[in-house]
Chain A
Amino acid sequence: MPSGFTRAQVEAIAALAHLQLDEAEIDLFARQLGDILAAADEVQGVDTTGVPPTASVVTRHSADREDEVRPSLDRDEALANAPDPALDAGLFKVPRVIG
C-alpha cells in the first residue's frame, strides 16, 4: 500500500473506473494518490475498537410507501439527451459490444 503507487497499480485502478489515462496522467496520479493516501493514513492510528461505521446520518426513515405505479418520464424526453438514440424503437444505441 502507500506510500507510492506503481504505474501498474494506477493502471489497474483506472481500468476498474473505466478511465483511459495517458502516460503523463499515470505518472501524476501515481505520485499524487500516494501522497494523499499517505496523509489520510493518519486514520489508522485512531482506536476504533467496537465503534460502528456511519454510512448515513439519517436516523428517521420516512421513505416507505406503497409500491404504486405513477407517472414517470416520457420516453421521448428520456431519449432527448442521448448521444445516439433510436427514437422510433425507443432505445439507446451503443457501439458494438464484442470487439
Chain B
Amino acid sequence: MTATTIRDVRDAVRSRSRSATDVCRGALDRIAALDPTLHAFNTVVADRALARAEAIDREPDRWREAPLAGVPVALKDNLCTRGVRTTASSRILDSFVPPYSATVVDRLERAGAVVVGKTNCDEFAMGSSNENSAYGPVRNPWAPDRIPGGSSGGSAAAVAADITPLALGSDTGGSIRQPAALCGVVGLKPTYGRVSRYGLIAFGSSLDQIGPITRTAYDAALALSVIAGADPADATSAPEAVPDYTTFLSGLTGDVRNARIGVPRRLLEQGVDADVLRAIDEALDVLRSRGATLVDVDLPHAKYAISVYYLIATAEASSNLARYDGVRYGYRASARDLRDMYGKTRAHGFGPEVKRRIMLGTYVLSAGYYDAYYLKAQQVRTLILRDYDEAFREDIVAIAMPTSPTAAFPIGERVSDPLQMYLADVFTVSANLAGLPAISVPCGFTGGRLPIGLQLTGRRFDEATLLRLADAYERDTEWSKQLPPIAHR
C-alpha cells in the first residue's frame, strides 16, 4: 500500500478515472476506521463533503482545470468555516458556528478541494503536544501512546495516517512544522503575509501564519499556490505576486547545484537527541551529494528565541483572547453581574495552558513591566531577525536544522512542566519571530521507529527555494513514502 498524494487524487478526478464522490467516501471511511484510535478530528462533515464531491462529479467540465479537483482536505479547527462548528479545541467556543469562512477555506473550495472535517489541536493553538485540547489529545499514528506534536496535531495525524492528502494548520511558533516532523509528513510555514489570516482564530497576530501539511514537497507547492496571495480582508497579507510554485519542481531534475545551505552548528551542540543529529547529518549529506554546498553559519541570538517568543506570543495572546467574554458568541457562565460573568465565563471556558499564557501576557504588558519584558523582547527579536539577514547576505539560500530536538514523547510526560514543554519549540520559533518561510521534511526515524524532521528556513517570500530543496531531497530518499502501521488497516 502506498500513500495517497494530492497530485494522484487530483489527476484521477480530473481524468475521471475516479469520481470525487468515491475519493470522498474513501476519506470518510478511513476516518470511521482510524479516528476512534487517533482522535484527529473534532468534527466530521460527511454530508457537506459528499454533497460537494457529487457537485464536482456532476460538472466535470467546470473542474477539469481545477488544481485541487476532488482533493479531500482536513482543516485545523481554528479556521472558520461558514455553517460548520469551529471550536479552536476550546470549551469557550464549543458551540460556535461561524457566519463566514476563512479566506484560505474559500480558496481551497474554489480550487475543487472537499473539506471532510475539522481537526483537533491544542486549545487556541497553544501547545506543542496537542494535550491542551479541551477534547483530549490526538495520538501519533506511528505510536498511539505518544503525542503527535502540536498545535496542529490532528492535521498532521490525518495526513500521516493517509486519511487526507492535505490538511491545513496554523503556525505561531512551530505548530505546523513540529507536528509534521513528529508524524513523518511535510509541513510548510509560509512567509508572514504570504497567506491571508482572515478567518484564522487569532493567537499571536505578528507571528501567526497558515500553511499546508502534505505527504510531499510537490503537494505542498500545489496547496501553497492555491492559498497564497493578497487579501483585502487581511491588512498584513502581502502584495507580492504568487508564482505557481509547482513550476519550480516539475520541470527540474532535483538539481540543487550552487545552492548554499547554512548550518548553525553551535546551536545544535546542546539538547538535541543523538538520533535526531544523526538523521540531520545524513540528510545534509544527501543534499551535498546532489550538489548543494554546506556552510557554517552563526545565529548568535537564536538561543534567546524561546524566551523572546514566550514573552511576545503571550502578550499578543492576552490581547487577542480578551474578546472571549461571553457576550457576542461562545460559552457564558451564569453570574450575578457583568464583571462576575466575565470572570466566571473565562475561568470555566479556558483550559490551564491558555490561562497560564493569558496571565503571563497580561503581566508582561502591565504597567511597570512593559519595558523590562515586552519591549526588551521586541528589541531582541530585532537582533534575531538581523542574524538571519546577515546569514542570507552570504549567498546562502536556506538554513538547515532539526525541526524538533527530539522525536515524539509519551503522552503525559511533560504536562506538569510548561518550561520543559516550551523547549520543544527551540528550533521553530525563530522563523516566526523573523517572519521567514520554513519547511519540515521527513528525514528518517529514531531507533524506536519514530519520525524525524529536517527543517529548512528560507529568505522572505522564497518558498520556491525551500520547496525545490525539499523536492530534491525526496528524490533520493524514501521517508515521505512510508506509512505508519495503523494506516495499513
Asked if B419 contacts A35 (CB within 8 A), the reply is yes
Quick one: CB contact mask for B386-407 with A, threshold 8 Å, 1 for yes?
0000000000000000000000
Q: B242 in the interface, Cβ–Cβ < 8 Å?
A: no
Q: What is the chain A residue whose CB lies nearest that of B98? A: A81
Is B30's beta carbon under 8 Å from chain A? no
What are 27 A-B contacts with C-beta separation under 8 Å? A16-B366, A19-B358, A20-B347, A33-B359, A33-B360, A35-B418, A40-B373, A42-B304, A43-B373, A43-B377, A48-B380, A51-B382, A53-B379, A53-B381, A54-B433, A56-B236, A60-B240, A62-B238, A62-B239, A63-B235, A80-B97, A81-B96, A81-B99, A83-B331, A94-B338, A95-B336, A95-B338
Which residues, 18 to 45 on A, are CB-close (under 8 Å) to B? Answer: 18-22, 25, 29, 32-33, 35-37, 39-44
Q: Are B310 and A40 in contact (CB under 8 A)?
A: yes
B383 at the interface (CB under 8 A from A): yes
Nearest chain A CB to B73's CB is how many angstroms away? Answer: 24
CA distance A63 to B231 in the complex (A): 9
Provide the bound-state CA to CA distance between A98 and B337, in Å.
7
Min CB gap B375→A, angstroms: 6
Is the beta-carbon distance between B377 and A92 smaller than 8 angstroms?
Answer: no
Please count how many residues in chain A sit with their CB below 8 Å of the partner chain's CB atoms. 55
CA distance A61 to B380 in the complex (A): 23
Chain A residues within 8 Å of B, Cβ to Cβ? 1, 10, 13-14, 16-22, 25, 29, 32-33, 35-37, 39-44, 46, 48, 51-58, 60-63, 65, 73-74, 77-78, 80-84, 92, 94-99
B369 touches A1 (CB 8 A): yes
Is the beta-carbon distance between B341 and A94 smaller than 8 angstroms? yes
Contact between chains at B336 and A99 (CB < 8 Å): yes
Contact B239 A53 (CB under 8 A): no
B383:A17 contact, CB within 8 angstroms: no
* Nearest-Cβ distance from residue B92 to partner chain A, whole angstroms: 11
Take A42-B304, A62-B239 as given contacts and tell me if A95 and B337 are in contact as well, using a CB distance cutoff of 8 Å: yes
| Max chain A Cβ within 10 angstroms of own Cβ: one of B341, B362, B369 | B362
